[in-house]
């Protein structure tokens, strides 16, 4: 299929989806022709799934049989823009991390692909800071579309002072000025590896100032492009006047019919009562968000429709993008062919599940850490669910699979904590909405029970220590325990301030992924695992 045929097919598929969605508009008053009609295409949390995802939801290596991928996004956006003169295409951040493509090739792969992506703008997610601010500056400077971060205010000494970021851009759509304001993740100093001079200012106050500045320039419609998570987006919509649409990311939220987090779009209301449309499109390039908005003569959204459209394997993919992916895939062969073991365990697993329940990747990781630590006096092992970035495939396990599950290069360390500090850490892990999220702790040598109906800080109703013989005893708040843990958590990452105060114990300091590999090699083939570590009663 040649490029012209690909574009034609993409237009037909997306146009059909657009017409179907428009017929199901969320609100249908009398339309005033004076208002702008705007289409927003968007992605978020693509996490280096450059070739899309496979049938198990893991990162794919080849586009042909996958869903999603940068090539399908590029083809769909470019085709839609060719047929419509009112389209803005936005990425809400977290392109970094999450696949073997990234672990081996780092941001240079994304930079090369981004030069072919038809984005109008992106903002920065927390993972863009993972390699440090100097590396992020180089990535930003390599891009040909603007990077928006109005709330990023680097202090003297931060390399980002020299980065080519801007707080907002103005695009003219059918003769009407549309402003796009970027809000980066202000927790990046805690969640990632931003330098100590990286500073963020309050998102709501920043957005109010940006709205005032844009309105003074004659901007009629304002989009906030954010990476702060759906609950924070909803709060932001209720707090700031003058914003019409929020395109968000960070929480990997899927919005749609019967989705637990809400419909597409979620409609909030600003302090003056005007509707604010909030959209996001899950993660890993599986979906392309497509929002159509019609404004009335006063510039207020009056009609809208849309959905997160799944990019199926039948949809075309940009051949130029795929050629780059093919070239970089060759760099992965060494890792993909280096087998370390096998497993046949049927168990929930993957990035999303590890933030909600006990998962195979989390349990194997903490089992490996605890086995390495017990001879040195460790009784418990913990890792954060957000540190597990993929499901461990059933069957053969390669070094590449392990690097996909654990791409961050975290180091195994040992600390001594009081039972009270451990309890506080468990509470922090379930403090998110629904007692879920990337902070939730996967554990070994420990079992705990969650009641999500209780207030934050009171959701852990039971915590017990499980010794090497399987004997169970209550976690004693005043007792001291040896804990195998990653340096990321031990240094207070993910907001675990209570874990910064642990007593450092002598440790060999291997990488967590190396500890896991050694464990799998020793115990292969893995056929069973001890469950019952995390219990939810509500």
Per-residue pLDDT of the chain (538 residues; tens, 9 = 90+): 444 444 444 444 444 444 333 333 333 333 345 699 999 999 999 999 999 999 888 899 999 889 999 999 999 999 999 999 999 999 999 999 989 999 999 999 999 999 999 999 999 999 999 999 999 999 999 999 999 999 999 999 999 999 999 999 999 999 999 999 999 999 887 788 899 999 999 999 999 999 999 999 999 999 999 999 999 999 999 999 999 999 999 999 999 999 999 999 999 999 999 999 999 999 999 999 999 999 999 999 999 999 999 999 999 999 999 999 999 999 999 999 999 999 999 998 998 999 999 999 999 999 999 999 999 999 999 999 999 999 998 999 999 999 999 988 899 999 999 999 999 999 999 999 999 999 999 999 999 999 999 999 999 999 999 999 999 999 999 999 999 999 999 999 999 999 999 999 998 889 999 999 999 999 999 999 999 999 999 8
**DSSP string covering 215-247, please?**
HHTT--EEEEEE-S-HHHHHHHHHH-SS--EEE
Q: What pLDDT is stored for residue 11 in this prediction?
A: 45
Considering the entire predicted model, what is its pTM?
Answer: 0.84
Q: Which two tokens stand for residue 389?
A: 């970035």
In order of their start, the domains of the chain are 3-329 (3.60.21.10), 338-536 (3.90.780.10)
Nearest to 370 by CA among 385, 383, 381: 381
Predicted pLDDT at 8: 41
Q: Quickly count helices (H) and strands (E) in the chain.
A: 15, 24
Q: For residues 517 and 15, give the distance between their C-alpha atoms in angstroms, rounded to a whole number.
A: 48
294: three-class secondary structure by DSSP: strand
Cis previous bond, 260, omega within 30: no
DSSP class of 127: G
């Amino acid at each position: 299929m040649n490029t012209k045929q690909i574009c034609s097919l993409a237009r037909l598929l997306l146009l059909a989806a657009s017409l179907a969605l428009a017929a199901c508009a969320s609100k249908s008053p009398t339309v005033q022709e004076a208002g702008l009609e705007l289409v927003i295409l968007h992605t978020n949390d693509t996490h280096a799934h450059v070739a899309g995802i496979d049938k198990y939801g893991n990162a794919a290596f080849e586009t042909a049989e996958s869903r999603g991928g940068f090539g399908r996004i590029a083809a769909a956006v470019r085709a839609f823009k060719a047929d419509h003169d009112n389209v803005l295409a936005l990425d809400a951040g977290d392109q970094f991390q999450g696949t073997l493509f990234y672990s081996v090739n780092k941001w240079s792969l994304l930079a090369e692909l981004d030069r072919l992506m038809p984005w109008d703008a992106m903002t920065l997610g927390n993972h863009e800071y993972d390699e440090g601010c100097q590396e992020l500056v180089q990535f930003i400077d390599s891009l040909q579309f603007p990077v928006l971060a109005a709330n990023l205010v680097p202090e003297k000494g931060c390399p980002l002072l020299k980065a080519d970021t801007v707080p907002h851009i103005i695009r003219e759509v059918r003769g009407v000025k549309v402003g796009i304001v970027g809000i980066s993740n202000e927790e990046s100093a805690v969640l990632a590896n931003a330098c100590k001079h990286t500073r963020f200012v309050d998102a709501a106050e920043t957005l109010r100032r940006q709205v005032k500045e844009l309105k003074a320039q004659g901007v009629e419609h304002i989009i906030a492009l954010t990476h702060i998570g759906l609950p924070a987006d909803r709060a932001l919509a209720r707090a700031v006047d003058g914003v019409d649409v929020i395109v968000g990311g960070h929480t990997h939220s899927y919005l749609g019919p019967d989705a637990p987090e809400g419909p597409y779009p979620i409609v909030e209301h600003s302090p003056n009562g005007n509707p604010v449309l909030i959209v996001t499109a899950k993660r890993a390039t599986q979906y392309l968000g497509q929002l159509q908005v019609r404004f009335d003569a006063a510039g207020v959204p009056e009609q809208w429709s849309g959905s997160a459209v799944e990019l199926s394997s039948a949809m075309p993919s940009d051949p130029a993008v795929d050629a780059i992916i093919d070239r970089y895939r060759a760099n992965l062969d060494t890792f993909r062919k280096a087998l370390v073991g096998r497993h046949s365990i049927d168990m929930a697993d993957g990035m999303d599940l590890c933030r909600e329940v006990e998962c195979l990747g989390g349990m194997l990781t903490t089992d490996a850490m605890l086995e390495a630590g017990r001879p040195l006096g460790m009784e418990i092992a913990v890792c954060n669910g957000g540190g597990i970035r993929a499901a461990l495939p059933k069957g053969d396990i390669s070094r590449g699979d392990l690097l996909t599950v654990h791409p961050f290069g975290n180091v195994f360390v040992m600390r001594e904590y009081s039972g009270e500090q451990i309890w506080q850490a468990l509470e922090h892990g379930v403090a998110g909405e629904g007692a879920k999220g990337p902070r939730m702790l996967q554990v070994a040598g420990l079992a705990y029970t969650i009641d999500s109906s209780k207030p934050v800080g009171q959701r852990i109703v039971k915590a017990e220590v499980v010794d090497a013989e399987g004997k169970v005893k209550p976690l004693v708040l005043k007792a001291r325990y040896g804990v195998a843990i990653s340096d990321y958590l031990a240094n207070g990452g993910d907001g675990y301030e209570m874990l910064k105060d642990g007593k450092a114990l002598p440790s060999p300091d291997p990488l967590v992924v190396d500890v896991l590999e050694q464990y799998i090699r020793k115990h292969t083939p893995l056929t069973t695992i001890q469950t019952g570590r995390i219990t939810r009663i509500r």
